[in-house]
A and B are shown apart, each in its own frame.
Chain A
Amino acid sequence: MELMRDCLDKQLDDRNKRRMGRVDGIILEIESGSQPRVAYIELGVKTLVNRFSTRLAEWFAGRIQRHGIETAPYRIAWSNVKVGLNNVVADVEAEKTPALEWELWLRKKVIGRIPGA
């Protein structure tokens, strides 16, 4: 498998086929004397901005944290991930993870309050 081609930026679904987001980043662990190994996949705004510039990501995260919003990326262990042809499936329940935090917040605080939602 080629990580960049087959995993990074792919659609990420949970075990119930619920769309969670995309694979925004991949974390490798490097230990001396052994081959690097894939440890996690990451989701989150900070990870995305990091791909433009790490300084911009730090600045951006700092601005958001001032408003009490958590910016730490959500990590899923590689052992819980299965890379498919069209998507990546994580063995988690999306609604119980931080990946859908904004979705649930919007549902509860905004969209759910509009008649007919």
Chain B
Amino acid sequence: MKKILEIALGIVTSVGGFLEIGSIATAAQAGSDFSFQLIWAIVLGGICIIFLVEQAGRFAAVSGRTIPDAIRERFGFNYFAFLYLVLALVSLIVLAAEIGGVCIALELGTGVGFQWWAIPVAIVIWLVIWKGTFGVIEKGVSLLGLVTLCFVVGAILINPPWSQVARSALPSLPQHDSVHYWFVAVSILGASISPYLFFFYSSGAIEDEWNEGYVGINRIIATGGMSFGSGISIAVLILAAMIFAPQGVKFEHYSQLPALLVPVFGYWGYWLIVASVGIACLGAAMEITLELAYLTAQGFGWNWSENQRPLDEARFSAVYIIAIILGVLPIVVGLDPLTLTIFGMALTAATLPVSIVPFLFLMNDYSYVRIYRNGWISNAVVLVIIGLAFVLAVVSIPLQIFGGS
């Protein structure tokens, strides 16, 4: 009974914690610009993150280590330093985008410009991490994040052509704006396959004191949570395809978000969007902030745990404070959160091999995972998707920036 409860809670928190500003923005953009055509990108990203999260949990449960810890040990300091710089830079951009998402939700709710909310939001993020435990952040915020299921309800109520939706789960070539099409596909993959998500998951497994007995539970949680989470992203895309695309509306600003749910839920649709975006981005911002602190502390061998007093791990606490300050700066100076989000996601996709290739080596290393090593299917699926995301990113990001078509 206890295990069933753990699985249910794990799946629920994974679902609630899945959606963040990157998934919302890229799915809305894909739906408005290419109707249902890019659903395949969410499906592909979903499959990849299921494999990666399952592997991260299995690695932590069997070896008792986190991924950064093992990467430093197995690949040495020089590679770790390179990985650290890349991941920290990308994570800070994504953190800024998430903080921007919370600020946009508050702007929609109050009418006060998003920049004015940057500092208060940063203080709230700091306060929850400062005073809260890992359980509060993992379960509390994620449970609140279940409000994002309103997108799924909305997508069902709007009654899309389900056969077309199903057909779009298979990749297809663009009929127009091919550079933009591939760029949005890359952004979706970057939003789905966020390294912070499975790095955080492995740290969480250690915080929750998982052991080999959790290998099965982990598999169910990873598969269930990430599948349902991807389903929410697909729901956002369906709503954008049904509401924006027929009117020729391009998703260019977050102020357009309420239009996704208002036609379905009326007045309450507006407030559901405010709550969904606000809570989802707040949860993601906390997870990314903590992940930066975990990555630093684990890589350098410092004391770390969100369950200890800040005083007992001063360097760990100092890192998350600095991360919040750096993450909030782009929003304070008024950078457009949507632009930040889209490029943050594309950059994530372009840098995926840096973190995932060494991780795959670890997942095949008997000294860490013993008999729980990866099979060839797990390795092949992840390598193919990461390779695809990397190639698409390297090709489409410069073309998108320099205005090719």
Residues of A within 8 A of B (CB): 8-12, 18-22, 24, 48, 51-52, 86, 102-104, 106-107, 110-112, 114, 116-117
Is B76 within 8 A of A19, CB to CB? no
List of B residues within 8 angstroms of A52 by Cβ: 78, 81
B78's partner among A21, A51, A103, A111 (CB-CB below 8 A) is A51
Q: Which residue of A lies closest to B303 (CB)?
A: A19
Q: Are B302 and A19 in contact (CB under 8 A)?
A: yes
Contact digits for B71-85, partner A, Cβ 8 Å, 1 yes 0 no: 011001110110000
Which of chain A's residues have a CB closer than 8 A to the CB of B318?
106, 110-111
Q: List 29 A-B contacts (CB under 8 A).
A: A9-B73, A9-B76, A9-B77, A10-B73, A11-B69, A11-B73, A19-B301, A19-B303, A20-B301, A21-B300, A22-B301, A24-B77, A48-B81, A52-B78, A103-B313, A103-B315, A104-B314, A106-B314, A107-B311, A110-B318, A111-B311, A111-B314, A111-B317, A112-B311, A112-B314, A114-B310, A117-B310, A117-B311, A117-B317
A56 to B302, CA, bound (A): 24
- Whether the Cβ atoms of A103 and B77 lie closer than 8 Å is no
Q: Which residues of B contact A86 (CB under 8 A)?
A: 64-65
Q: Is the CB of A116 within 8 A of B73?
A: no
Residues of A within 8 A of B313 (CB): 103
**CB contacts between A and B, total, < 8 Å:** 63
The tally of residues in B whose CB lies under 8 Å from a CB in A reads: 25
B309 at the interface (CB under 8 A from A): yes
Instruction: List the 9 closest A-B pairs by CB distance, nearest first.
Output: A22-B301, A106-B314, A107-B314, A111-B314, A21-B301, A117-B311, A117-B310, A19-B303, A9-B73
Report whether B317 and A22 are in contact in the complex, using a CB–CB cutoff of 8 Å: no
Interface residues of B (CB under 8 A from A): 64-65, 69, 72-73, 76-78, 80-81, 130-131, 300-304, 309-311, 313-315, 317-318
CB-CB < 8 A to A111: which residues of B?
310-311, 314, 317-318
Interface centre among A22, A104, A110 (most CB of B within 10 A): A22
Closest CB of chain A to B305's CB: distance in Å? 10
Complex contacts, B309 vs chain A, CB 8 Å: 117
* Further contacts, 18 of them, CB under 8 A, given A9-B72, A9-B77, A19-B301: A11-B69, A11-B73, A12-B301, A18-B303, A19-B304, A20-B301, A21-B300, A48-B81, A51-B76, A102-B315, A103-B303, A103-B313, A103-B314, A111-B310, A111-B314, A112-B311, A116-B310, A117-B310
Q: Shortest Cβ distance from B231 into chain A, in angstroms?
A: 38
Given A9-B77, A12-B301, A86-B65, A22-B72 contact (CB < 8 Å): yes
